[in-house]
Structure 1
Amino acid sequence: MILLRLQGIFAGYGGSQVLSGIDVSIAAGEAVALLGRNGMGKTTTVRAIFGLIRPTSGRIEVAGRDMTGAPPFAVARAGLGLVPEGRQIFPTLSVRENLIATARPGGPWDLAKVVALFPRLAERRGHLGSQLSGGEQQMLAIGRALMTNPRLLVLDEATEGLAPLIRAEIWDCLARLRAEGMAILVIDKNIAALSRLVDRHLVIERGRIVWQGDSADLAADPKIRERFLHV
């Protein structure tokens, strides 16, 4: 089953076009990386998926349902969970309040399961969001998204700016989620970690998908990394 399909999406900001006919599909249980240099359209793709900007043309489907231009709450109800760039937790709410603020009952994820996945959050349950470290805030952002009981988890810059030990913990968490059957779309610059996690890599350049393949394909083609990723 295809959980998410983008077909010919054009989108941008004001008079500036960022996406130029992007096509993406993600199946149930699949983990996919979206790669590209800064400014090539990765975050804009995420914003279009979640209804934070409206495409000027094209179609976005969630589980076969047309969600083009749907408001963010409708996209979340359809089964997509977002861990946004910059975390964007609620700084004046406690850890517990952050988690229950977005909770959607009826699925496997609840407060007990989230804090079992991230024991640090259990230890800091009464702390305000603003009192957490960057790594703890990222754990909270992931936990908050899981509390919506998504079928597809989308992470924009999953480990940016985090200490190495915290990064490792986040990657371990994502591996556990994938092992449980969670579909994942992840943006990050750590290609080595992504290659151990995902089924496919999509490379975006100037608002278009210009290459896709599995981790072995990416490792075997250094020209792709040099031309589009600068790594």
Structure 2
Amino acid sequence: MLHIEGLAAAYGQSQALTDVTFGLEAGEVVTLLGRNGMGKTTTIRAIMGLLGSVGGRVTAGSLRFGETALIGLAPHVIARQGIGLVPEGRQIFPTLSVEENLVATARPGRWNLEAVYALFPRLRERSGNAGRNLSGGEQQMLAIGRALMTNPRLLILDEATEGLAPLVRAEIWSVLGRLKAEGQAILLIDKNLSAVMQLANRHVIIERGRTVWTGDSAALAAAPELREQYLHI
């Protein structure tokens, strides 16, 4: 489904990625792991065509989603290929209501208002509230619901539970587990190693802009030296 080979990217003269290589197949959950500043979010921006908006550019490599080459495509064109993004910092529309946020980018498919409200009942309760009046946890639910309303083949979450209260984090992990069970492909960044190891099929560790390890949760659990070296766990 998603295939990245030798991806390199830069911000001005500063090289942010040098050799990111990994893939993700339909129905898989794959995590991007690594310390802060190692290139995880830059990888997501490259996938979504968003590097240009922050002064960056892809300098080498290939990036394909299915049969479509993504490099050089506009973000809205990439999204229409079937990729939904829950961005770092949520980035909901603050002056729009919950319902307006959800329908703003909706596309036909299984995920509609009723389906999202069933997944996140709190959003139904606050459907008329402006996005800026929601708690952080509610905003994250809204960001996930908004991405699902595009009916994506691949759902990408950048920092899925960062800064959320424990009960809200647990709810988000439960939802992601349900989505996985239903066959939703997910690419995920999160610092909660124990949670992602329970959820994901495979993990990709990025260090200084390059892929240094890939493997499943059992292999990662059996390698404490790897976690210490690259994740500081």
Query: Normalised by the size of structure 1, how large is the TM-score?
Result: 0.97
Q: Unpaired segments of 5 or more residues in structure 1?
A: none
Any conservation in 2 of the 1:12–1:44 contact (CA below 8 Å)? Answer: no
Q: Unpaired segments of 5 or more residues in structure 2?
A: 52-56
* Matching residue within 219, 228, 232 for 1:230: 232
**SS of aligned partner of 2:96:** coil
Distance 2:67 2:27 in 1: 16
* Matching residue within 41, 46, 61 for 2:64: 61
Distance 1:96 1:12 in 2: 37
Distance 1:207 1:35 in 2: 12
Distance 2:72 2:231 in 1: 30
* Matching residue within 52, 74, 86 for 1:71: 74
Is 1:174 equivalent to 2:172 in the alignment? no
Any conservation in 2 of the 1:121–1:140 contact (CA below 8 Å)? Answer: yes
Q: Aligned residue pairs: how many?
A: 228
Distance 1:124 1:31 in 2: 30
Distance 2:216 2:135 in 1: 34
**SS of aligned partner of 2:93:** coil
For 1:92, the equivalent position in structure 2 comes to 95
* RMSD (CA atoms): 0.7
Q: Which amino acid aligns with 1:31?
A: V
**SS of aligned partner of 1:148:** coil
Deviation at 1:146, TM superposition (A): 0.3
**SS of aligned partner of 2:58:** coil
- Calculate percent identity across the aligned residue pairs: 65
For 2:158, the equivalent position in structure 1 comes to 156
Q: Which amino acid aligns with 2:125?
A: E
For 1:13, the equivalent position in structure 2 comes to 11
For 1:133, the equivalent position in structure 2 comes to 135
Q: Which amino acid aligns with 1:212?
A: T
Distance 1:10 1:192 in 2: 29
> Can you list the C-alpha shifts for 1:173-214, whole angstroms capped at 9, x where unaligned?
000000110000000000100011000011000011101111
Distance 1:134 1:19 in 2: 30
Distance 2:60 2:107 in 1: 31
* Matching residue within 79, 83, 92 for 1:80: 83
For 1:35, the equivalent position in structure 2 comes to 33
**SS of aligned partner of 1:17:** strand
Distance 2:137 2:230 in 1: 29
Deviation at 1:58, TM superposition (A): 1.2
Any conservation in 2 of the 1:10–1:18 contact (CA below 8 Å)? Answer: yes
Deviation at 1:133, TM superposition (A): 0.2
**SS of aligned partner of 2:180:** helix
Query: Normalised by the size of structure 2, how large is the TM-score?
Result: 0.97
Is 1:192 equivalent to 2:190 in the alignment? no
Any conservation in 2 of the 1:199–1:215 contact (CA below 8 Å)? Answer: yes
Deviation at 1:69, TM superposition (A): 2.0
